[in-house]
Structure 1
Amino acid sequence: MYGDPALPPDFVSLPYANPDAPRGGTVVFANTGGFDSLNPFIQKGTVPWQSRFWGYESLMGRSWDEPFTLYGLLAESVTVPEDRSWVEFTLRPEAAFSDGSPVTIEDVIWSYETLGTQGHQRYRSFWTQVESIEATGPRSVRLTFASDNRELALIAGMRPILKKAQFEGRDFTTSGLHEIPIGTAPYVVTDYEAGRSVTYTRNPDYWGNDIGFRRGTNNFDEMRIEFFGDGVAAFEAFKAGEISAVREYNAEQWNTAYDFPAVQRGDVVKSEIHDQKPTGMTGLVMNTRKPFFDDWRVRDAMIHAFNFEFINEAITGAAQDRITSYFDNSILAKRPGPATGQVKAYLEAWAGDLPPGALEGYDLPVSDGSERNRANIRVALKQLQDAGYTVEGGKLTGPEGPVTFEILLQQADRETRTAVDMFLPALERLGIDARVTVIDDAQYTERMLNFDFDMTAFRRALSLSPGNEQKLYWGSEGRDTPGSRNMMGLASPAVDGLIDRMLSVTESEDFTAAVRALDRVLTAERLVIPIWRYDVSRIAHVKEMHYPEQLPIYGDGPEYMPQMWWYEE
């Protein structure tokens, strides 16, 4: 995105891969819930989340040891002009689908057009910014862009490539298990039992075994996903030796629950992988499409009422710090106190649209750690009163009568349920009748697509190179677009403008300032009740699973384990 790639054109392997890693072995992972589709590229259906990472490839591949640098994968070369108004890719002659057929320019063009018009919402925003796509040779294709956006040339290299002939005369958007898109990646689905398990097998004839980007990666012969009703059942299966590895997100559990016999014998190893990426945002998101949550003072009251210090002590043993902003833990995070320098200049361009605290500085409230949280409850009640609500007969009442709202959770999300249960008494003291509704994955997905919730659990991972996806996360266009990722329903001219600024600058210093300004606005909007950080990946795994000593700056992620790991007795 900025500067030059860290690796030379003839690099042997990615710096965090082991080029001499042995190949072999079978590993088993656990998912909660179920699945009713194996097409991860459409809006319908519940798909194993790993599917699009394990079975499909794009023209370029990302190095997780650099903020945003791409290297050739299906493409052997890339050409861009200085202004990045277009990009041209040339396919490797050996690039092939898992059925052995070659990847063609027709497949590339069809994939871009189909995903951009009929695919999952995550692919459509990019397509609206493409002016044209055309073959420029037997193995080359050019995309010309309709807007001045320097990141588009990189995003263009990251669209999955599917086989056009597979869907000739068929409806691409049909969900189900009968049609698994053919990909080019090292793994293919070789077996599944609906809702219970999926098996991925390494393709021995995978076309890219010898390219530098793939050397030392994708080393397991077989990977299987088993599905469980909840996290407790999955953990018990891991303890019984039925699962090969689990990620533990709760520090208290990590310190207390992983002392079972297999750990004591050394058959199970506890590994901690640190990173330098933003924390992203995790917590309870409030839907501003609902009248009650449309007022920042109400949202501020909810954050004050949530007794983080007390809840964190009870759930994690206070072992995990609180997330303080969307880009916390990174160089892109907002700085404390009033905005200064270039950050201030960027913010002042939208001074009339900024939430309180964006310019002056905003910090999350801190409680005294006691269960009652009296001081913050008083602040919360004052904010609700300023927003036009009064307590009548012990009930918080507004223009539409007594205040009630629903907190929607998934069955498997036991940790959030525990936090919410501890949050409910504070809401009751404010006179709010809040109810918790727990539903299965399929129902939850459907309701999220239609923004049918008041408050729900939220997790948004962010990178060191935020770009066009920020429009999907918080851009005004997504507020009323079903299936968009703008869960909170934010519509802010300041946010839209800062994203555009972030995408148009050409110097890294200006980019950092624009992201820090965006971080200030998002945090001050008080859209999410933040909980604890996940800046250390805690993985418990069988002793036969290994990973390289050198870690990428992004640490663990869906493309690190299992891609960089190997199996060795």
Structure 2
Amino acid sequence: MDPRIFRAIAIGAAALSFALAGSDAAAEPRHGIAMYGEPALPPDFVSLPYANPDAPKGGRIVVGEVGSFDSLNPHILKGVVPWQWRFLGYESLMGRSYDEPFTLYGLLAESIEVAEDRSWAEFTLREEAAFSDGTPVTIEDVMWSYETLGTEGHPRYLGTWNLVETMEQTGPRSVRFTFATDNRELALLIGMRPILKKAQWADKDFTRSGLDTIPIGTAPYVVSDYEAGRFVELSRNPDYWGSDLPFMRGQANLDTIRMEFYADAQVLFEAFKAGQITSIRETNAEKWATQYDFPAVRSGDIVKSEIPHERPTGMTGFVMNTRRSAFSDWRVRAAMIHAFNFEFINETLTGGRQPRITSYFSNSLLAMADGPADEGVRRLLQPHVDALVPGALDAYALPQGDGSAANRRNLRTAMRLMEEAGFTIEEGRMTTPSGEPFGFEILLPQSTPEAEVGTIVDLFLPALERMGIDVRVARVDRAQFEERTDAFDFDMTFYTRGLSLSPGNEQKLYWGSAAAEAQGSLNWMGVQSPAVDAMIDAILTSESRADFVTAAKALDRVLTTGRYVIPIYQFRESRIAHDANLHFPDDLPIYGDFINFHPDVWWYEPD
């Protein structure tokens, strides 16, 4: 047993009075919690603002996924799992509203109570909370889930668990977490861990489960059928415990959610045109404009919906692994960004319709500003000035090409940067400062949702060849791709990282120094920067919204000027083509088509 766990043998009046003594007396149970300020919804809210509480129940949706799967346990590192299963099959103590930057409302927990300084958080479990098999959820299940996920689960759970000093049962249905560090976000993060059934794992190894054991959860959907690598079908549990809960009104409306898996994006698209799937997201603006004119669209049986959002673009592109000598020098990474002819590639593939990502938090108020760093950002970055690369304090923007295939001006800049880094050309080949031929491998999965990724690489290669760089492209199956990226076994690879309006502790997993050598972490580029670490800490310790925004802008600036990723397209809206009988609410969340929107608040209703 983890030494941080203390079980109350008896909860009596003395213990209760102790819990209410001193500074704790100011704390009181609440229906929700916000990162800053108060939750927008009152205790008697009817539903989330972007859910339709009158939505009918019934019908089905069939979505397509590119790739395959070999596991239905989304809580461990091992295996490839359908990505949506983690969100559709499991619930946590608190649920998130995607119409607020970071606010949680009670889900499995009826209330949350926090210290004034947020040094601890206490949750009271709903008496009616139950697993999909009908058995009640207990505090023992909750505590076992936290300990197991925090010690044996996927790395995404480990960071928060390591910041918990104690976990203690404080009542028949309550548990308190006391934190080991000053971090305002922990009171929210600790409420967002999936709750699993302890008894299911009494004679099983949690870390080795795959398709043979599906973790039991409390959510509205259960796996009713599947075929390894081909499809997973989820059915709505008619006895779902939370169907009348205000947080869940207007959600989980569909009786059936089926996920079909295809070899590549083009096969998936053809399956959609043939009516085998009923909803598809399109990431290519040119294809959206020119290839969605087939009979079902013209007849109105298929509807094209565009759903805007206000969230950050995140980062999508080609990440360079700084653990490898090929990309340890920022000037080499900058040269790759100059050699990448975005304007020509964008015109070729999307007709110039798709704007480029300009920074990690672009398209939001958290994005780095144009020009030199402002006073607040500069003050945060100044102690780390010696570790910053050019542009962090001064103006920085991605290079602009002239739109031609030659891209001569940017290629000249790329060659100059390589020369400054000590590289030379010998007999037409780029050589390293030590005189070795310079080359690297671009690792790609054989199938990606973005069908044009391989084409983008093909359009990038001629520029690298003109620079005398020997580039190899390795296309591997999805399982091998995940295995290699988990082990950081790549030079450059395709990469996407979504970001929210409330960056917090997950930033350490994305690009914190401690995650750089932790296999399975999301720090694929291997960032080990004191400036990055300090900006993440500044985000986590901000006591006002203004300070938080300044810290996020500073982090965005350090990451962007670090030249770790060659950015490609940004998506300011989601493009979803779907069966006309599938509907979504008119009131959209600020996050738009994000987690817990499609298909969570959609419903089926024949026109």
- Cα drift, residue 400 of structure 1: 5.5
Give the match for residue 287 of structure 1: 321
- Cα drift, residue 175 of structure 1: 3.3
CA contact (8 A) 2:93 2:192 kept: yes
Give the match for residue 233 of structure 1: 267
Q: Look up the SS of the partner of 2:554 in the other structure.
A: helix
Structure 1 residues 8-19: aligned runs within 5 Å? 8-19=42-53
**In the alignment, which of 493, 506, 528 is matched to residue 543 of structure 2?**
506
Q: Look up the SS of the partner of 1:173 in the other structure.
A: helix
> Residue type matched to 2:486 in 1?
L
Deviations 1:461-512 (A, max 9, x none): 0000000000000000111111111000000000001100110010000000
1:388–1:510 Cα change, 3 Å: same
Q: Look up the SS of the partner of 1:419 in the other structure.
A: helix
Give the match for residue 422 of structure 2: 388
- Cα drift, residue 352 of structure 1: 1.4
Give the match for residue 263 of structure 1: 297
Work out the CA distance in 2 between the residues paired with 1:217 and 1:175: 29
Q: Look up the SS of the partner of 2:588 in the other structure.
A: coil
Structure 1 residues 118-517: aligned runs within 5 Å? 118-398=152-432, 399=434, 401-413=436-448, 414-517=451-554
CA contact (8 A) 2:312 2:499 kept: yes
Work out the CA distance in 2 between the residues paired with 1:151 and 1:261: 50
**In the alignment, which of 68, 84, 87 is matched to residue 102 of structure 2?**
68
Work out the CA distance in 1 between the residues paired with 2:67 and 2:103: 35
The number of aligned residues is 569
> Residue type matched to 1:62 in 2?
R
Query: Percent identity, aligned pairs only?
Result: 64
Q: Look up the SS of the partner of 1:523 in the other structure.
A: helix
Deviations 1:101-142 (A, max 9, x none): 011000110000000000001111111100010100000000
Q: Deviation above 2 Å: which 4+ runs of structure 1?
A: none
Q: Look up the SS of the partner of 2:207 in the other structure.
A: coil
**In the alignment, which of 136, 142, 153 is matched to residue 102 of structure 1?**
136
Tell me the TM-score normalized by structure 1.
Answer: 0.99
Deviations 1:33-89 (A, max 9, x none): 111100000010011111101100000000000000000000000000111000000
CA contact (8 A) 2:326 2:439 kept: no
Work out the CA distance in 1 between the residues paired with 2:163 and 2:435: 42
> Residue type matched to 2:71 in 1?
S
> Residue type matched to 1:87 in 2?
A
- Cα drift, residue 350 of structure 1: 1.3
Work out the CA distance in 1 between the residues paired with 2:75 and 2:349: 36
Q: Look up the SS of the partner of 1:67 in the other structure.
A: coil
1:522–1:261 Cα change, 3 Å: same
- Cα drift, residue 224 of structure 1: 0.7
Work out the CA distance in 2 between the residues paired with 1:194 and 1:276: 37
Deviations 1:404-446 (A, max 9, x none): 1110111113311111100000000110011111111011011
- Cα drift, residue 557 of structure 1: 1.6
Unaligned 5+ residue runs, structure 1?
none
Work out the CA distance in 1 between the residues paired with 2:322 and 2:456: 22
Q: Look up the SS of the partner of 1:200 in the other structure.
A: strand
Deviations 1:493-539 (A, max 9, x none): 00001100110010000000000001000000000000110121000
Q: Look up the SS of the partner of 1:158 in the other structure.
A: coil
> Are positions 1:561 and 2:595 aligned together?
no
Q: Look up the SS of the partner of 2:248 in the other structure.
A: coil
Q: Look up the SS of the partner of 1:143 in the other structure.
A: strand
Work out the CA distance in 2 between the residues paired with 1:292 and 1:198: 41
> Residue type matched to 2:419 in 1?
Q
> Residue type matched to 2:441 in 1?
E
**In the alignment, which of 116, 120, 127 is matched to residue 93 of structure 1?**
127
- Cα drift, residue 94 of structure 1: 0.4
> Residue type matched to 1:15 in 2?
P
Work out the CA distance in 2 between the residues paired with 1:505 and 1:193: 48
Work out the CA distance in 2 between the residues paired with 1:26 and 1:463: 29
- Cα drift, residue 13 of structure 1: 0.4
> Residue type matched to 1:450 in 2?
A
Deviations 1:140-179 (A, max 9, x none): 0000001110000000010000000000121000132110
Q: Look up the SS of the partner of 2:464 in the other structure.
A: helix
Work out the CA distance in 2 between the residues paired with 1:282 and 1:48: 20
Structure 1 residues 27-46: aligned runs within 5 Å? 27-46=61-80
Stretch moving more, 345-354 or 304-313 = 345-354
Q: Look up the SS of the partner of 1:135 in the other structure.
A: strand
Deviations 1:178-229 (A, max 9, x none): 1000000000001111111111000000000111100011100011111111
> Are positions 1:538 and 2:575 aligned together?
yes
Work out the CA distance in 1 between the residues paired with 2:398 and 2:421: 19
Q: Look up the SS of the partner of 1:180 in the other structure.
A: coil
1:395–1:131 Cα change, 3 Å: same
- Cα drift, residue 361 of structure 1: 2.0
Alignment RMSD: 0.7
Q: Look up the SS of the partner of 2:135 in the other structure.
A: coil
Q: Look up the SS of the partner of 1:208 in the other structure.
A: coil
> Residue type matched to 1:38 in 2?
L
Work out the CA distance in 2 between the residues paired with 1:362 and 1:114: 45
> Are positions 1:521 and 2:558 aligned together?
yes
